[in-house]
Structure 1
Amino acid sequence: MHSPAGRRRADHTAIVGCDLFVDGIAVESPGSAADLAHLHERAREQGGFVWLDLHEPTEAALTRVAEVFDLHPLTVEDVLHREQRVKFERYDDVVFLVIRAAHYAEHERFTATSEIVSTGFLRLFAGPHFVIVVRQGTLTELSALQPELTPTPKKLAAGPWSVVHAILDRLMDVYADIVEALRTDADLTEAAVFTPGENVAIEQIYQLKRQLMKFKAAVLPLHRPLATLAGRSFAGPSKDIHRYLRDVAGRHTAVMEEVVALDEVLNALLQARLTQLTVDQNNDMRRIASWAAIAALITTIAGVYGMNFTHMPELGWRYGYPSVALLMLVSASGLYWVLRRAGWL
């Protein structure tokens, strides 16, 4: 059983950022998780909101946060279950959103073993007087968001949904950068596939498709939650924030279309490379068959003149052996020329 001091240490370790905003200005940043209840109470009294940022909290830490902000137990279970699908749920006046964020690793050259896309989960709780962000995985692109927004009180004065919009907007920036980087990888791979002399392994194309599928699993399921948030029937955000959310949904649609188009390009590229390998194998078989035909012709002539029958024509002729050798050379050269013109050699 954990002691209260131990639980406070666990809570404090999970907290990345915690601030009380009133009229868009950070008025208090507590030093420990024990102040969360006090902070939430002040937010309700003064019409502000608490922005709480957690990174991979323990069950004890999350339970403590759920008690303070009256979060539904099902949402706590969803957070503790690391592998969750992207979804949008509403519990009374609290919105729960599960998002898969993505990260792209820069590299010099893409290979058949490159792992360039990694994903992590982002859970958002948005209530009347709080927004809670729970991160799982390495999501460095969101780390600097709070310091960037703090100097702009006008935007944060719109309340918790201004933070939700800022997070989603930053997420769309990351998505757009990743899809552009993946397109560059695909273009370079495509150029290599159709460049004579370049030996592109089929595993390399398949690995790039695997990375795209990982990113696709993060992007596509977010369409319905964003459409719900941007819908006119959704109550919660102000009219201005609604406009911004619709813009985010539009940007997401553009990214989603890019991902689908890139997936089709990689499918076509994979098929093209498989066709190239089949053609190369057929060409190799035709070359082997051509040289086998030339060898068979020479062997046939040698076999006939190697039988040494008594009445074989020109058996006793002084120039018989050179003549047969010349016949072999001429016939083999003629067959080589015919096969060469036919494109088999």
Structure 2
Amino acid sequence: MAQPALLPDHLDAPHEPGLVASVAYAGGARVCDIPIDQARDWAKRPGHFVWIGLHEPNPALLARVQRQFDLHAMAIEDAEQAHQRPKLEQYGAAVFVVARTAQLADGHVAFGETHLFIGRGYVISVRHGASASYTTVRQRLEACPTVLAHGEHYVLYGILDFIVDNYMLVAEAIHERVDAIEDSVLATNVRREDIEEVYSLRRDLLRLRNAAAPLVDVCRRLEHAEVLAIEPSMQPLFRDVTDHVRRVEEEIDTLREVLAFTFEASIMWSQAEQNTTMRRLAAWAAILAVPTAIAGIYGMNFEQMPELKWEYGYFIVLGTIALLCGGLFTLFRRYDWL
């Protein structure tokens, strides 16, 4: 097969909306920025690969990328719509990976998507929605040409590892909020704001778990080279990503249990406070019932009531009321009702 024509070693990729970077690499070293329309020729060079980064690209830009690498139309349609569940699909010699991304925004977890096209000599990353830029990943990999020399498969690992690390960062941030709300709920009576906060956190944690869990299967298939001919030395890297995902799942499950326990404990604490208040009200009602009953009896308009003619009847009635009320008060205090 004829080798592609050699291209200039230094080209500046034109700035286009949706295009973050289009770079050619050789032997783990960055060669130059390249235009999209020359990406295929660079990817066919021996020992080279191309990494194109896109952020919410328009259909025209995706179509240009598709023509360069003969990407499957269904995968391109998925990458354009950006409402896919995490998955790994194989189209001939190319692999299409969908991963959900997560970031904290205004106190809540915002989710996005990353679509990855991996084939011989190229990696294409397409970001949608809430997602940290992969410029950090690119800079970190470029700083280690030895590992980047593994090519497009190592880039795939780097991006997936970066996504999972962001899951952990989100989970740690939620952990701090869970600790704060746990202290607040247990220290005070349950408020509507506390209930809404607990519900919101549990919902965010469930959505984060649904985003992270499918990557276990994706990494397992990559680890065992079911879809890509990954060299054996790189397979443990995807196993490491799987371990990170499982740690994220454990952290999420722990936080959800803590929130459930916190909510149940706050409800029990509130009920205990209500029971204490009801006991106190009942005790005072019983005490006040004594003078009410006696006053009601002596308030009847009967003429034939012998007690009405007693000289010291008034003082005897007041003393009886005081004695009975004092006895009830002492009794309720003994039983910790007052």
TM-score scaled by length of structure 2 = 0.87
Contact 2:181 2:194 in 1 (8 A): no
Q: Aligned partner of 2:32: which letter?
A: E
Once the two structures are overlaid, the 10-residue window that deviates more, 281-290 or 168-177, is: 281-290
Q: Aligned partner of 2:36: which letter?
A: L
Distance 1:73 1:185, change over 3 A: same
Once the two structures are overlaid, the 10-residue window that deviates more, 239-248 or 223-232, is: 223-232
Partner residue in 2 for 1:108? none
Q: Aligned partner of 1:81: which letter?
A: Q
Contact 1:40 1:49 in 2 (8 A): no
Partner residue in 2 for 1:170? 162
Q: Displacement of 1:72 after TM fit? A: 0.9
Q: Displacement of 1:176 after TM fit? A: 2.0
Q: Displacement of 1:245 after TM fit? A: 1.1
Partner residue in 1 for 2:286? 293
Q: Displacement of 1:173 after TM fit? A: 2.1
Contact 1:96 1:125 in 2 (8 A): yes
Q: Aligned partner of 2:73: which letter?
A: P
Partner residue in 1 for 2:177? 185
Partner residue in 2 for 1:281? 274
Structure 2 residue 295 is the aligned partner of structure 1 residue 302: yes
| Secondary structure at 1:310 match in 2 | coil
Partner residue in 2 for 1:205? 198
Structure 1 stretches lacking a partner, 5+ long: 1-8, 106-113
Q: Aligned partner of 1:256: which letter?
A: E
Superposition RMSD in Å: 2.4
Structure 2 residue 55 is the aligned partner of structure 1 residue 66: no
Q: Displacement of 1:196 after TM fit? A: 5.9
Percent same amino acid among aligned pairs?
35
Partner residue in 2 for 1:133? 125
Distance in 1 (CA, whole Å) between partners of 2:208 and 2:288 is 55
Counterpart mapping for 1:15-164 below 5 A: 15-30=19-34, 35-105=35-105, 115-140=107-132, 142-164=134-156
| Secondary structure at 1:74 match in 2 | helix
Partner residue in 2 for 1:4? none
Q: 2:327 aligns with which of 318, 321, 334?
A: 334
Distance 1:279 1:132, change over 3 A: same
Q: Displacement of 1:238 after TM fit? A: 1.7
Q: For each residue in 1:65-92, what CA deviation from the matched residue of structure 2 results, as whole angstroms up to 9, or x when unmatched? A: 1121111111112122232211111111
Distance in 1 (CA, whole Å) between partners of 2:218 and 2:195 is 36
| Secondary structure at 1:12 match in 2 | coil
Q: For each residue in 1:4-56, what CA deviation from the matched residue of structure 2 results, as whole angstroms up to 9, or x when unmatched? A: xxxxx9982110011011111221202xxxx3232221221323111000000
Structure 2 stretches lacking a partner, 5+ long: 1-12
Q: Displacement of 1:308 after TM fit? A: 4.4
Q: Aligned partner of 1:124: which letter?
A: L
Contact 2:290 2:325 in 1 (8 A): yes
Q: Displacement of 1:212 after TM fit? A: 1.9
Distance in 2 (CA, whole Å) between partners of 1:284 and 1:305 is 32
Distance 1:142 1:319, change over 3 A: farther
Distance 1:234 1:80, change over 3 A: closer
Q: Displacement of 1:261 after TM fit? A: 1.9
Distance 1:152 1:332, change over 3 A: same
Q: Aligned partner of 2:21: which letter?
A: G
Q: Displacement of 1:316 after TM fit? A: 1.7
Distance in 2 (CA, whole Å) between partners of 1:206 and 1:344 is 35
Partner residue in 2 for 1:315? 308
Contact 1:95 1:127 in 2 (8 A): yes
Q: Aligned partner of 2:138: which letter?
A: Q
Partner residue in 2 for 1:214? 207
TM-score scaled by length of structure 1 = 0.86
| Secondary structure at 1:280 match in 2 | helix
| Secondary structure at 2:89 match in 1 | strand
- Structure 1 runs, 4 residues or longer, greater than 4 Å off: 196-200
Contact 2:90 2:227 in 1 (8 A): no
State the number of aligned residues. Answer: 325
Q: Displacement of 1:257 after TM fit? A: 1.4
